[in-house]
Chains A and B, each alone.
Chain A
Amino acid sequence: MKTEILRALKKRPYGQVLTVPMIVLATYILLALAAPVIAPQNPYDPLQIYGWEASSSPGTPGSGGYLYLLGTDGLGRDILSTILYGLRISLVVSITSAAIAALIGLTAGVSAAYFGSWVDSAIMRLVDLQLSLPTILVALIAIVTLGPGIDRIILALIIAQWATYARLVRSVALSETNKSYMDAARLMRLPTSRIIFRHLLPNSIAPAVTLIPIEIGHAVALEATLSFLGLGVPIDKPSLGSAVANGFQYLLTGQYWTSLFPGLALFGLIASINFVGEDVRRHLDPRSRPV
C-alpha cells in the first residue's frame, strides 16, 4: 500500500499536482466549506447586521465586536463574510450545473453518435440551434423564461451549457464508432448496453472530463453575470456576482471596496479554475492545443 502510493507520487511528481492555481483553488474550496466557522458575521442573519454601520470603509471596527477588514456594503453587511458566503453559492451553483450539464451532454452525445439517424438529427439540430447563439444570450433567455431563484439559475446554466458537451462528446464518439473495435464489438452481437458502456463510453469520456473544469469556470462567470443583471440569485443571499452588483451604485461615490473585493475574489476564483482546467486538459490529452 505504502509503496504503491510512493510509486504513484514518483510517477506524478508534486510539481504536476501542486501548481499555484491548484493551491489557490483548493484554498477557495476550503474557505467556502469553512465559511460558517471563519466568517466574522453571518450576512444572511439580519440580527447580526447593523444598518448604521453601512458603507464602513475597510479596517473600521464594528459593534459586533469584530473588525470590518474589507469594509461593509450599503446594507451594513461585512464584505469579507459576504464574500465567503457568496463563494459557497457561486461554487455550488457552478459545480452542480457543470456536472449535470456534463452528464446530459455525455448521454446525448454518445446516443447521437451510436444510434445515428433520427436520434442524431434531433439531438444535433437542437445543439446547433443553441451553439449558434452566444452562451450568455441562451442563459439570458433561459433565466428570463424561468424566473429568479437559485434552482432556476442552475437550470438556466445547464440549458446554456449541455450543448457544448454534447457536441464535443458526439464528435469523439462518432470517430470511435467508426473504429474497427466497435465493428468487432457489433460482430460479437454484444448487448447494446454493453457496447455503449464497455466500449463506446470509456473511450469517449476523456474529452468531456477535460471540459468540465473549463465549463465550471464559465458557469461561475455566467452565474455572476446573471446575478449582476439582477436576474439570478435573490438579493438577500448574494453570490459573488450579486455582491459586486450591490456595490455598483456606491462605486461612483468612491466606495470602491463594496465592488472591488468581491470582484477580485471572483476573478481569482475563475482564473484559478481556468488555469487548472488548462493543466488538466494538457495532461489528459497531450494532443490538444489550448484554445
Chain B
Amino acid sequence: MSSSIKISDVERIYYDTDGRDVQALKSVDLDIKAGEFISLIGPSGCGKTTLLRLIAGLDKPQSGELSIDGRKITGVDPERGYVFQQGSLFPWLDIEHNIAYGLRARGQLKQKKARVGEYISMVGLDGFEKSYPHQISGGMAQRVAIARALINEPKALLLDEPMGALDSFTRADLQDKLLELWKEKNTTMILVTHDIDEAIYLSDRIVIMTPRPGKISKVIDVSLPRPRHRGGVEFLAMRKEILELFELAQAQPQPEYTI
C-alpha cells in the first residue's frame, strides 16, 4: 500500500500584497519511489512546506506537474495523509472521535469501527479515548494526529515538521514510533524537517533545499543500515557532510532586510 510520486519542473510563486513576488519553488524535480522514506530539509523559506502542500493538493503550482502513480494531483485526497506541525486536532472531539474523523467523513465508520481502537493502541494511547486534545501532552497529540492520518490507510503520509514543537526525548520516542509504523504499513513517507539528525535517523534519502528561490540543491542517499545509532561514526560523518553543504549554500548570504 504505497505510491510513487513524481514531481517535474514545479514552480510556485506567491504574490505579496506589496507587489513583490516570492519565488517559493523554482524548477523542482523529484522522483519518490513507492514505500520510500524521504526527508525534505533546509533553512526556513526554502519552500519545503510549500512542496509538501503541493504534493498534498492543498496548493497548486503555477507550472510543472505533480503526479502520484501516474495520475496528476489535482486536489486533496485521503490517499495522501497529512500531519501538521501542531494544533490540528479538533478540540471539540475527544481522542477517539478525532482518530475516527476520517472514517466518519468518508462514511465508513460503521464497517470499520473496530479499526479506531486498533489505531489508538497502535500509537499507544489506550485509556485516553475519552480525553480531549487540551488534556494530553504535545507528543501524545502528534501521535493522535498520525493515527488520524493513518486510519484512512493512505498510500503516502506527508509530515510537516510533526516533531518540531516537541522536546528531544519525546521527539526521539516519536521517531521510533514513526519508523515502526512505516515498517508495518509500508507507506511512502515524506517528512519536512529542519532537524538534520532526524532526517538522517529516519530517511532513505534526504532532499536538501535552499532558499531564494526555493530549489533542490542536492539529494543524498542514506545507506546506513537500520536500526541506526544516533551517535555512530557513519551517522556523525553524514551529519558533518550535510552541515558543510548548508555552509556552502550560505556562503554568500543575502541580507533579509536592509537598514
- Check if A and B associate: no
A residues whose Cβ falls under 8 Å from a Cβ of B: none
